[in-house]
Amino acid sequence: MNPQEEIQREETLDPGDWESMRALGHRIVDDAMDYLETLRERPVWQHAPGSVKEHFEGPPPAGPMPPGEVYEEYLRYILPHQLGNAHPRYWGWVTGSGTVMGMYAEMLAAATDAVSGAFSYMSNNYVEQQVLDWCKDLLGYPRAASGLLTSGCSASNLIGLAVARNTMAGYDVRGKGMANPAPRMTLYCSEEAHSSIDKAVELLGFGSESLRRVPVDGSLRIDTAALKEAIRRDRENGCHPVCIIGVAGTTNTGAIDDMHALADIATQERCWFHVDGAFGAWAAISPRSKHLVAGMERADSLAFDLHKWMYLAYPIGCILVRNADDHRRAFSLTPTYLAHGEGDRGLTGVDVPWLSDYGFELSRGFHALKAWMTFKEHGTEKYGRLIQQNIDQAHYLARLVEAAPDLELALPVSLNVVNFRFTRPGIPNARLNEVNKKIEIEIQEQGIAVPSTVRIGERVFLHVAVTNHRSRKEDFDLLVSEVIRIGHELV
Ligand SMILES: Cc1ncc(COP(=O)(O)O)c(C=O)c1O
């Protein structure tokens, strides 16, 4: 084979025809913009038929397919069957809604295949450090704190509790592991805290039995007297209480634990204070609601998302740790092939921290870019107003519910979550539970709106978590009238 033939045999994944690939790119951006601009005109969600599922059962594609045809498959089988969380009437569970600039940022990050994690002298890391600094400023955390952007609050809780474990164990937990015959370490959170806390506790080897689920008060906030009693009992029984976990905005009801009280107890009891503020942390930037999370800034570690209430496209969460040394000590591990810190030349030089020293991942995507670009585009004051707007909308919905004879509010709105149910006199509770579950399913299947349901005590409620910058008051009017219509059809 002559050298010319050899060159021709060498392959690449770059386009054979750059011009047609460029045209496809323009079309993709146009279609995505049309999709976002006309969201409101479409059903919130559409049940994927069996034929769609079958489409994804074939073998790997051994040979090539023209790029335009690949995209046609996306348009036909993937785009119409999304969760729907970008839609103005999606309020199920607690989910964000994305932005146009965020979409551009994801494309730009992919254009350079930006790796963020190790390495220092590169703009990705400057951007991430700046986004972390902005989060600290906005949430009242000191600039000297360390932090990391994550794939979400589950990862953030895991990292925060890993730092707590390493700092509070009182022995070399990284070396000796959890089999050390030290007293059992115990952690405390309310009955309403998120399951990602249980997962983190299990993954870190504490054992789920070490997580004390403390009862809640009438507003579903942790009962601080019961918390103190649980710690006292554990000490008496030879356990080692290491961490108190507060929730700023529970998934079910948006309840916010008393942050100052928890911070005080953590200080008295020499415990780490971790806050799961997945979405509720951002109440801190809303002009009229920041008092709700006062004291959260006293946490030793603060976990939250930016893909829920800061409306950024998935995935992006964050963990901040007050003492950067504690944070680094829990994760830093440097094999020779990742040696860094000698001088300021080359990719192994250091001017900002290597982010891989602050978490369990080495390679990470450039999550920071979408935060950086959208915060700049709108300004953080607008985010504060939007968060307040969602809180106001939740109260608006609660008022509509209170005014409707066939609807019942579960409890007063504490943040941005409204739980309510359809009810008629004389119908037993078990039947009402069935009816409300069916209303959830019907309203989803008819593409009208997506609420979810939660069980509070013995009763099932429709659950509306307003973390959506596209929702308008009329969307809540429609929700209420449709719940009543479907409720009447069902009973
Ligand atoms: C209070 C709370 N904590 C943690 C999480 C987990 O966050 P993520 O889904 O980003 O992993 C959630 C998710 O809804 C949540 O509501």
More confident residue, 429 or 114: 429
**pLDDT tens, 257-276?**
999 999 999 999 999 999 99
The answer, yes or no, to whether any atom of ligand 1 lies below 6 A from the CB of 303, is: no
- Asked if the model's pLDDT at residue 139 lies above 90, the reply is yes
- Asked if the model's pLDDT at residue 225 lies above 80, the reply is yes
The answer, yes or no, to whether any atom of ligand 1 lies below 6 A from the CB of 299, is: no
The answer, yes or no, to whether any atom of ligand 1 lies below 6 A from the CB of 276, is: yes
CATH 3.30.1490.270 fits 115-377, yes or no: no
DSSP per-residue codes, 261-280: HHHHHHHHTT-EEEEE-TTG
Which CATH number is 19-45+82-100+379-491 given?
3.90.1150.170
Structure tokens at 145: 């704190």
**pLDDT tens, 342-368?**
778 888 888 888 899 999 999 999 999
If you measure from the C-alpha of residue 250 to the centroid of ligand 1, how many angstroms do you get, rounded to a whole number? 9
Domain residue ranges in the chain: 19-45+82-100+379-491, 115-377
Ligand 1, residues 196, 274, 309: which to mutate, most atoms within 8 A of Cβ? 196
**Residue pointed to by tokens 């906030």:** 221
Residue 65 burial (C-beta neighbours within 10 Å; 0-12, 13-18, 19+): exposed
Query: Helix count (H) and strand count (E) of the chain?
Result: 16, 11
Instruction: Kindly calculate the radius of gyration of the chain based on its CA atoms and give it in whole angstroms.
Output: 25
The residue whose C-alpha atom lies closest to atom 11 belonging to ligand 1 is 154
If you measure from the C-alpha of residue 95 to the centroid of ligand 1, how many angstroms do you get, rounded to a whole number? 9
What pLDDT does residue 4 have?
66
What is the average pLDDT value for the chain, to the nearest integer?
Answer: 95
DSSP per-residue codes, 128-180: HHHHHHHHHHHHT--TT-EEEEESSHHHHHHHHHHHHHHHHSSS-HHHHGGGS
SS3 357: helix
What pLDDT does residue 346 have?
86
The residue whose C-alpha atom lies closest to atom 14 belonging to ligand 1 is 94
In this prediction the pTM is 0.96
What pLDDT does residue 116 have?
84
Q: Which atom of ligand 1 is nearest to the CA of 280?
A: 1
If you measure from the C-alpha of residue 196 to the centroid of ligand 1, how many angstroms do you get, rounded to a whole number? 7
Contacts by 329-334, CB closer than 8 A, 24 or more apart? 329/166, 329/167, 330/162, 330/163, 330/165, 330/166, 330/167, 330/174, 331/159, 331/162, 331/163, 331/356, 331/357, 331/358, 331/359, 331/360, 332/357, 332/358
The answer, yes or no, to whether any atom of ligand 1 lies below 6 A from the CB of 414, is: no
- Asked if the model's pLDDT at residue 337 lies above 80, the reply is yes
The answer, yes or no, to whether any atom of ligand 1 lies below 6 A from the CB of 194, is: yes
